[in-house]
Amino acid sequence: MSESAPRKRGRPSTALGLGNPIDVHVGKRIKTRRLVRGWTQEELAKSVDLSFQQVQKYERGSNRVSAGRLYELAKALNVPIQYFFDEYHEESCESASGAPIGLKEESVDFEGVDRMGDSQLSELVRAFIKIDDIKLRRAILQMVLAVDYTISEPPL
């Protein structure tokens, strides 16, 4: 280690945009689910006895969510705890030499997550979730997929 730049313990500063990637991922998943439910940050905060500022920090990934708080958020948002870690993949396991585990967000569409703030998209998702008839849900999904397919296919 160099004498001119002492190494600090813990996570990098989020002010520098170097926050722990899993904290950022969990925060985005919290925000996505909150928006799908149609809740404001204040409504989510109230449901788990927090301030809306704390919810903001969790959603940005600047504050790490404790295990107990993650459990409370999962209950409030009506998702299993695993939901917050879905689509987050390990790059590699710990090597025999004890090298650290590397994590990355491969194949995660964060643009799609950010678009959940789009009011029409959120409204569509909330309406879809309210449909109880599984056959109707499948039919709607097939229709949407068919429309997407026809849009993405070049004309003959």
Domain map of the chain by residue range? Answer: 14-108, 118-156
**Distance between CA atoms of 68 and 48, rounded to whole angstroms?**
11
Residue 90 has pLDDT above 60, yes or no: no
pTM: 0.57
CATH topology of domain 14-108: 434 Repressor (Amino-terminal Domain) (1.10.260)
Query: pLDDT tens across 93-114, in order?
Result: 333 334 333 333 333 344 454 4
Q: Are 8 and 51 in contact (CB under 8 A)?
A: no
